[in-house]
Amino acid sequence: MDQPRAVLFDAYGTLFDVYSVGLLAEQLFPGQGQALSVLWRDKQIEYTRLVTTSNDGAHYQPFWELTRAGLRYACKRLGLQLTAEREQQLMNEYRHLSAFPENREVLQELRAREVTTGILSNGDPQMLGVAVRSAGLEGLLDHVLSVDTVRKYKTHPDAYRLGTQATKKTAGQILFVSCNAWDALGATWFGYRTLWVNRYQLPFEELGPQPTRIGTTLRDVLAFFDSQYQEL
């Protein structure tokens, strides 16, 4: 197949480690940090689906607010006392999530090869702006696309369509990269070529086609562009 002409990355879970909040959560709630970070993330994504599918998106709320709601629910579910101070600490930590170490290297290589790059994320514009700056990725992305403009979260096709509209390329010319299996599947259904970055050695979804390729780090993106990288 021809090389892709653009690469779009999911943000949360793919470029930015959503479970890095577990370190602070463990300090605030000893013995519960990992459980809180996992349940928080699961509820956050559940809420995106709930507001997208209910009344054709009439109950849409920005990702930041769904993230806060997910945190509050998770703490109640686990019986943790979430004071206003602790909530502020955890939300601020989420705003500045740790970036995966290979991000900058891969984006620099794509930039050197004159490949169009971007983020296509559920995150709202302010969240994404802070995350990109905190990770030092400014200048390495041609597009930072938020579903906030269509008020529908992935995996709604209108969310994925933002990528073809922004790049002026067909879905088949675009490589979509996600660490989230459900996201990789949704993008595959939409028509993107897909790379699922399986960082945690999980099974893929059982509902549809496999992604174009499966990797373990973002470096596997480079295998789409040059035989030099086939061994990565």
CATH number (domain holding residue 173)? 3.40.50.1000
Decide if pLDDT at 232 tops 70.
Answer: no
Residue-averaged pLDDT of the chain:
94
Residue ending a domain, choose from 42, 69, 95: 95
Crossing angle (nearest 10°) for helices 63-78 and 125-134: 80
Query: How far is Cα 67 from Cα 149, in angstroms, rounded to an integer?
Result: 18
Looking at the structure, do residues 102 and 91 belong to the same domain, yes or no?
A: no
Residue ending a domain, choose from 76, 95, 114: 95
Looking at the structure, do residues 79 and 126 belong to the same domain, yes or no?
A: no
Which amino acid, one-letter code, is at 74?
Answer: A
Looking at the structure, do residues 223 and 185 belong to the same domain, yes or no?
A: yes
Query: How far is Cα 70 from Cα 186, in angstroms, rounded to an integer?
Result: 22
Residue ending a domain, choose from 75, 95, 115: 95
Decide if pLDDT at 8 tops 60.
Answer: yes
Q: Which residue has the tokens 């514009």?
A: 125
Q: Which CATH number is 71's domain given? A: 1.10.150.240
Q: For 175-227, what is each residue's pLDDT tens digit?
A: 999 999 999 999 999 999 999 999 999 999 999 899 999 999 999 999 998 75
Looking at the structure, do residues 175 and 114 belong to the same domain, yes or no?
A: yes
Q: Is residue 123 part of a domain?
A: yes
Q: For 113-155, what is each residue's pLDDT tens digit?
A: 999 999 999 999 999 999 999 999 999 999 999 999 999 999 9
pTM comes to: 0.93
Q: Is residue 91 part of a domain?
A: yes
Beta bridge partners of 118: 8, 143
Our count of domains for the chain comes to: 2
| Residue 231, pLDDT score | 37
Decide if pLDDT at 30 tops 90.
Answer: yes
Q: For 79-101, what is each residue's pLDDT tens digit?
A: 999 999 999 999 999 999 999 99
Q: For 38-82, what is each residue's pLDDT tens digit?
A: 999 999 999 999 999 998 878 999 999 999 999 999 999 999 999
Write the CB contacts of 67 (distance below 8 Å, at least 6 apart in sequence): 40, 44, 91, 94
Domain that holds residue 139: 6-16+98-229
Cβ–Cβ < 8 Å for 92, 130: no
Looking at the structure, do residues 105 and 185 belong to the same domain, yes or no?
A: yes
Looking at the structure, do residues 65 and 103 belong to the same domain, yes or no?
A: no
Looking at the structure, do residues 75 and 102 belong to the same domain, yes or no?
A: no
**What does the H/E/C string look like for the chain?**
CCCCCEEEECCECCCECHHHHHHHHHHHCCCCHHHHHHHHHHHHHHHHHHHHHHHHHCCCCCHHHHHHHHHHHHHHHHCCCCCHHHHHHHHHHHHCCCECCCHHHHHHHHHHCCCEEEEEECCCHHHHHHHHHHCCCCCCCCEEEEHHHCCCCCCCHHHHHHHHHHHCCCHHHEEEEECCHHHHHHHHHHCCEEEEECCCCCCCCCCCCCCCEEECCHHHHHHHCCHHHCCC
Looking at the structure, do residues 104 and 201 belong to the same domain, yes or no?
A: yes
Looking at the structure, do residues 58 and 105 belong to the same domain, yes or no?
A: no
Residues with catalytic roles: 10
Q: Is residue 1 part of a domain?
A: no
Query: How far is Cα 164 from Cα 141, in angstroms, rounded to an integer?
Result: 16
Cβ–Cβ < 8 Å for 36, 203: no
Looking at the structure, do residues 149 and 204 belong to the same domain, yes or no?
A: yes
Looking at the structure, do residues 85 and 138 belong to the same domain, yes or no?
A: no
Q: Is residue 114 part of a domain?
A: yes
Looking at the structure, do residues 64 and 115 belong to the same domain, yes or no?
A: no
Query: How far is Cα 79 from Cα 87, in angstroms, rounded to an integer?
Result: 14
